[in-house]
């Protein structure tokens, strides 16, 4: 075979290989396009189906995003396989890379695992008032690695999820009702029954105070400067702070009108000559 025939054969093979590659590349692009389209449709169907359940919006968002990423990954691997790339090698490389990255980012993985636990076990949800890691505030968002709280004075605090799992979590909205604990001091010279009656009137005038469970008023302590009355009304959890402040103010005003004294610490000093 002379050189001209040799180059002719090679050029024909190259053309055939190029055509075959173009065809495979064309089908790979089709797989990607169809895959992205199907993924969006399936993603919407998953969200729609999850919303019909009683799952929290945070759980729905987490599951839908995870499924979206998984489907996209599958179609990308199918597209690469169509071109002729060995996906098993890619998976092995990704696995080894994931192991190396995992060893380097143990803290981040701990936050990721903690984020999954928060979503699965639902210790709290968005808009709940919680206290954790020395911070008290409303839950703004629950992300994979962090949780954002909005404090009562409107600061945003971002807390790593691992710290949330390791610490005690106080959720003020888990139960629908909460008890307000008030300590009202009166003078030793004042009438306890009258003070109790006036406090009861204030509680009855406040529509947000629940009738069941009924509020109680006890003489809780004989202090150094006052007789301390323990006042325990019940309210719906979202009304806790507004009602607590309102009752404190209204009880003070009621006592002022009726001549009940709220004493303050004082000392009598005697001078001996």
Give tens-digit pLDDT for 137-166.
999 888 878 889 999 889 999 998 888 888
* Residue with more model confidence, 180 or 86: 180
Q: Pairing state of beta strands 170-171 and 156-160?
A: unpaired
* Residue with more model confidence, 207 or 133: 207
Query: What is the dotted CATH code of the domain comprising 121-171?
Result: 2.30.30.60
% of the chain exceeding 90 in pLDDT: 29
pLDDT on residue 175: 86
Q: Which residues contact 164 (CB under 8 A, 6 or more apart)?
A: 114, 118, 123, 132, 133, 147
Question: What mean pLDDT comes out for the span 196-204?
Answer: 95
Tokens describing residue 178: 């909460």
pLDDT on residue 246: 95
Does residue 5 register a pLDDT over 60? no
- 249 alpha carbon, distance to own chain's centre: 33
* Residue with more model confidence, 260 or 31: 260
* Residue with more model confidence, 269 or 98: 269
Among the four given CATH numbers 3.30.70.260, 3.30.70.100, 3.10.105.10, 3.40.50.300, the one describing domain 177-258:
3.30.70.100
CA–CA dist 166, 134 (Å, integer): 13
Domain 7-104 belongs in CATH node 1.10.287.1260: yes
% of the chain exceeding 70 in pLDDT: 81
Q: Where in the chain is the domain with CATH 2.30.30.60?
A: 121-171
Burial of 7 (0-12, 13-18, 19+ CB in 10 A): exposed
Does residue 188 register a pLDDT over 80? yes
Nearest residue to 139 (alpha-carbon basis) of 167, 57, 151: 151
Does residue 252 register a pLDDT over 90? yes
CA–CA dist 260, 190 (Å, integer): 6
For residues 212-251, b (16+ Cβ closer than 10 Å) or e, as one string? eeebebeeeeeeeebbebebebbbeeebbeebbeebeebb
* Structure-derived torsion over alpha carbons of residues 141, 144, 147, 148, reported in degrees to the nearest 10: -50
Start-end of H helices in 186-228: 192-205
Per residue in 84-112, pLDDT (tens digit) is 666 665 666 556 555 555 544 455 667 77
Q: Where in the chain is the domain with CATH 1.10.287.1260?
A: 7-104
Model confidence pTM above 0.85: no
Residues 124 and 171: beta-carbon distance below 8 Å: yes
CA–CA dist 211, 244 (Å, integer): 16
Question: What mean pLDDT comes out for the span 45-65?
Answer: 71
């Amino acid at each position: 075979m002379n050189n001209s025939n040799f180059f002719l054969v090679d050029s024909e093979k190259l053309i055939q290989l190029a055509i075959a590659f173009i065809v495979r590349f064309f089908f790979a692009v089709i797989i990607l396009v169809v895959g992205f389209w199907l993924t969006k449709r399936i993603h919407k169907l998953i969200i729609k189906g999850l919303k019909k359940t009683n799952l929290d919006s945070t759980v729905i968002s987490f599951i839908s995003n995870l499924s979206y990423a998984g489907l996209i990954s599958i179609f990308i691997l199918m597209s690469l396989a169509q071109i002729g790339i060995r996906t098993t090698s890619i998976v092995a490389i990704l696995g080894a890379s994931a192991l190396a990255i995992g060893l380097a980012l143990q803290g981040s993985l701990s936050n990721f695992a903690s984020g999954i636990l928060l979503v699965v076990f639902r210790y709290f949800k968005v808009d709940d008032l919680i206290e954790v890691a020395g911070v008290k505030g409303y839950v703004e968002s629950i992300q994979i690695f962090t949780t954002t709280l909005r404090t009562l004075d409107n600061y945003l605090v971002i807390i790593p999820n691992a710290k949330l799992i390791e610490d005690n979590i106080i959720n003020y909205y888990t139960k629908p009702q909460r008890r307000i604990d008030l300590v009202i001091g009166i003078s030793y010279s004042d009438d306890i029954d009258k003070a109790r009656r006036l406090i009861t009137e204030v509680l009855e005038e406040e529509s947000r105070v629940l009738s069941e469970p009924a509020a109680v008023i006890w003489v809780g302590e004989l202090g150094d400067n006052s007789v301390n009355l323990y006042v325990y009304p019940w309210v719906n959890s979202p009304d806790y702070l507004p009602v607590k402040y309102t009752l404190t103010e209204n009880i003070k005003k009621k006592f002022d009108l009726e001549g009940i004294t709220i004493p303050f610490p004082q000392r009598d000093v005697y001078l001996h000559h």
